[in-house]
Structure 1
């Protein structure tokens, strides 16, 4: 059996974990057995001079409380994001069978909520033909990682 997690490089892992957890319906991951916090675990496995000791900085792993979704770890890295993501999250918030005006209103309301949480807007993408209607907004999380709200 293979187990896996999604690992996202981050300059400020705790900020990204706090941003993405509620958005995905996730919660902070509990520390490993035998440790009362992630900081305690990090103090056990990482040289002390590499840690700053702020417990909030080590809440960098999130999980789906139902166990259905993958574990996500925001891994600390020194370099900043350099280019376009090779993959990204698509967040579906609107009923795709609804009238286009309703889809736009639902998506735009979520976009406004996410901007208030630290995301930025890239650009909207609208397709409205007889055979296809789609509206999505490309956004960036607090570190510039792209994702779509549709």
Structure 2
């Protein structure tokens, strides 16, 4: 019998702790606490034999988890190179309530979420407003420039 794989999303980035904090806020996730009895992830990884020079700076709080356990764990992995091109994979955050909700209400909900995410460090990139087709979304970038959509 085969076991079903678990899903973890991994995001290469320059500042893992910063992105983990942003995406925890954006998704309603929590920064993943270190395993007991360790006070920090750094202490845990050092105990496991990870070399100090591989741990970067900070306490290594570089992953976020869904508090309900339904969504995937997201790990922010420090990478030496900067983001250079458009993402091949991006997250879509659905906050409008879907097509059963009046267009004006969906647009209001999306713009409220966009404002909340901007206050958390995201930037607005592009607006797609097509009332005739019932579509409204905003392309945004997280603090390191990774694209995501709010619809």
Task: State the TM-score bracket (shorter-chain normalisation).
Answer: 0.7 to 0.9
Judged with a 3 Å threshold, the aligned counterparts in structure 2 of structure 1 residues 74 and 53 are, in CA distance, closer, same or farther, namely: closer
- Counterparts of 1:69 and 1:122, CA distance in 2: 26
Q: Distance in 1 between matches of 2:56 and 2:86?
A: 31
The CA RMSD over aligned residues, in Å, is 1.7
Q: Which residue of 2 aligns with 1:75?
A: 77
SS at match of 2:45: helix
Task: Give the equivalent residue in structure 1 for 2:86.
Answer: 84
| Residue aligned with 2:116, SS | helix
**Matches of 1:49 and 1:95 in 2, distance apart?**
46
Q: Structure 1 stretches of 5 or more lacking a match?
A: none
* Count of aligned pairs: 146
For residues 73-117 of structure 1, the C-alpha deviation after alignment (integer angstroms, 9 at most, x for no partner) is 000111111111111111111123222222222111111111111
Cα drift, residue 11 of structure 1: 0.3
Q: Which runs of 5+ in 2 are unaligned?
A: none
Q: Secondary structure at the match of 1:35?
A: coil
Question: TM-score, normalized by length of structure 1?
Answer: 0.88
Normalising by structure 2, report the TM-score. 0.87
Q: Which runs of 4+ in 1 moved over 6 A?
A: none
- Alignment match, 2:61: 59
The counterpart of 1:48, out of the listed 49, 52, 69, is 52
